[in-house]
């Protein structure tokens, strides 16, 4: 046995390297497949401010449930700028490729930038959060 290994050591090393390469590529494919499945079960929330409206959009492939929107760490229903229009809105679900548009009320001398935080649940996770600063 030792003489066989001694005579064919280069071939055996090549075989081991080939096996490692084979498994490395398969593991890489498996990880990519799992990542794609995870993205299919996720809601992707974006925040923007267009035409005096705060726009919360779901660009993902899953429903965003129990959506909570905070303006400077205060629930949007209690913020001075957005509360008049947010109070009657239902934020319980945001389906894929849809959005919420919440008008704002501004006056001279009022604050012009806000820290917006959105929390939600989807099929992939219960504690999703995105945060951004908008300028009015």
Contacts (Cβ under 8 Å, ≥6 apart) of 115:
71, 72, 73, 131, 132, 133
pLDDT of residue 46: 94
pLDDT tens per residue, range 72-86? 999 999 888 888 888
Identify the weakest region by mean pLDDT among 55-59, 60-64, 109-113.
Answer: 109-113
pLDDT tens per residue, range 97-125? 999 999 988 776 677 788 999 999 988 88
Q: Which of 98, 103, 71 is nearest to 86 (CA)?
A: 103
**Element housing 120 (H / E):** strand 113-121
């Amino acid at each position: 046995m030792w003489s066989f290994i001694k005579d064919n050591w280069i071939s055996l090393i090549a075989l081991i390297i080939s096996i490692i390469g084979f498994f490395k590529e398969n593991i890489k494919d498996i990880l990519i497949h799992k990542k794609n499945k995870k993205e299919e079960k996720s809601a992707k929330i974006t925040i923007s401010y267009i035409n005096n409206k705060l726009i919360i959009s779901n660009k993902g492939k899953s429903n965003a449930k129990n959506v909570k929107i905070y303006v400077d760490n205060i629930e949007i229903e209690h913020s001075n700028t957005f509360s008049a229009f947010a109070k009657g809105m239902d934020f319980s679900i945001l389906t894929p490729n849809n959005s919420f548009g919440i008008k704002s009320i501004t006056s001279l001398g009022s604050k012009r930038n806000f820290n917006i935080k959105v929390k939600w649940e989807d099929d992939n996770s219960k504690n999703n959060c995105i945060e951004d600063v908008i300028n009015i």
